[in-house]
Amino acid sequence: MFREHFNLITIIVLTSIILVSADVPVTAGDVQYRETVVAGGPDRFMEVRHVVMKGTNRAIGKKLGEIASALGTGPMSRGSALLNRTQREYMKSAYPILHERMRGIAEAFGLGIDDDSYDFSSIMFFPTAPPGCSAVFYPGAHTESGHGILSRNFDFTTGTIEGQRPSGDQAPAVSRPFIFEFYPDKGYASIAICAFELVGGVLDGMNEKGLVVAIFGDDDTAVRHGIHPSMDVGLHELMSMRYLLDTCSNVAEAKEALLLSKHIYAFVPCHYLIADRSGKSFIFEFSPYRHATYIIDGQGPQCITNHLVSQYPDIEEFPDSVMIDSFDRYRALHDAVAEVGKRFTLEEITAINAAVANSAMEFDHPERAPGRTLWHALYDTSDLSLRVKFYLGDRIDTEGGKAKIAEYSDYIEFTLQPH
């Protein structure tokens, strides 16, 4: 998803840790935990870990806290005891599932949930530039299988947290993403590809009801109006996606949940694509000054890139501006899915995203690192499956000369198994 450079931690090493007791103890038996490396490895650009957790939300939260501790990070402050306390009370009222996870996070660090020195709702690091991606949601009426499919590219720098070429012991910023699969006691089971924030850092995902979500950078607002992140009280842009997965079963519920929520952006301005098993979809956006929200309902396959669809509704009138890359990708997707009555095969869906992927573009800047499509994900809303391939690095095409070829893992498949 992210074409540019988040100021984030670069190494994710998930480690199983024996749970310890606290007041009203959470024990090892309260959470089932499994961790597997599913793509890449220490000698490749990426090492992707699949983490499955089943248990109470408090126990899941405690395990997340212990993962954070193993990373050398933990809960932060929103800037004052008042903001920390108000954030806690907001989550207790608006998002009780997360509040229970916050209790477990606090316990993992030997703290109490009522400690106003910390914000237990997020364990995150801050980006320095806006994200970028391309995606299409295909309702079942437009696929050969009859299943709704979300097909999305996640693009980001291959460099460090500052977007520079790594040197010495530096590591690429998104070299250790992971897939979280949650089976909580309250809230819906879900699978999501995550980075940047351990508690709510959902970039794309799906829950057991077939609701799919994905986040995209609003580059247009960032370029024209600047980036003005906030640590005020509310749901940050990635957490909004976790909230929908935990609590919403369809598009109607997701619309209401987003409209009722208090939104902030702690990283960069973003917009969202949300769809469900019935084939309904919508894009949710904020106006450039965030004084209004927009819901753009899908009419057949729905495309999204990195400009505000609400601000540029007519594809024939896209301006010649710094957003030309986003406009070009959107136009390519739109034209590829425009044939009336066509039912797309999975191979055709994959090829359409591949045509707008940033997979082998030459980039010769002496200091900045090139961007790549770091993964392509296919979410099936009917059989609750995720098929995804991950970028593993570049190699030189020895037969064709100096041209670089981006190498990817095979597609890996996961299926939610709700009970």
pLDDT (average), residues 308-323? 88
pLDDT (average), residues 63-80? 91
Highest mean pLDDT among 135-149, 164-178, 190-204: 135-149
Confidence of residue 25 (pLDDT cuts 50, 70, 90): low
pLDDT in tens, 93-121: 999 999 999 999 999 999 999 999 999 99
pLDDT in tens, 130-153: 556 999 999 999 999 999 999 999
pLDDT in tens, 36-69: 999 999 999 999 999 999 999 999 999 999 999 9
pLDDT (average), residues 354-375? 83
Question: For residues 396 and 16, which has the higher predicted lDDT (pLDDT)?
Answer: 396
The percentage of the chain sitting over the pLDDT mark of 70, rounded to a whole number, equals 88
Residue 8 reports pLDDT greater than 50: no
Residue 363 reports pLDDT greater than 80: no
Residue-averaged pLDDT of the chain: 88
Residue 303 reports pLDDT greater than 50: yes
Q: What is the 3-state secondary structure (H, E, C) of the chain?
A: CCCCCCCCCCCCCCCCCCCCCCCCCCCHHHEEEEEEEEEECCCCCCEEEEEEEEECHHHHHHHHHHHHHHCCCCCECCCCHHHHHHHHHHHHHHCHHHHHHHHHHHHHCCCCCCCCCCECCCCECCCCCCCEEEEEEECHHHECCCCCEEEEEEEEECCCCCCECCCCCCCCCCCCCEEEEEEECCCCCEEEEECCECCCCEEEEEECCCCEEEEEECHHHHHHHCCCCCCCCCECHHHHHHHHHHHCCCHHHHHHHHHHCCECCCCCCEEEEEECCCCCEEEEEECCCCCCEEEEECCCCEEECCCCCCCCCCHHHCCCCCCHHHHHHHHHHHHHCCCCCCCECHHHHHHHHHCCCCCCCCCCCCCECCEEEEEEEEEECCCCEEEEEEEEEEEECCCCCCCEEEEECCCEEEECCCC
pLDDT (average), residues 195-210? 94
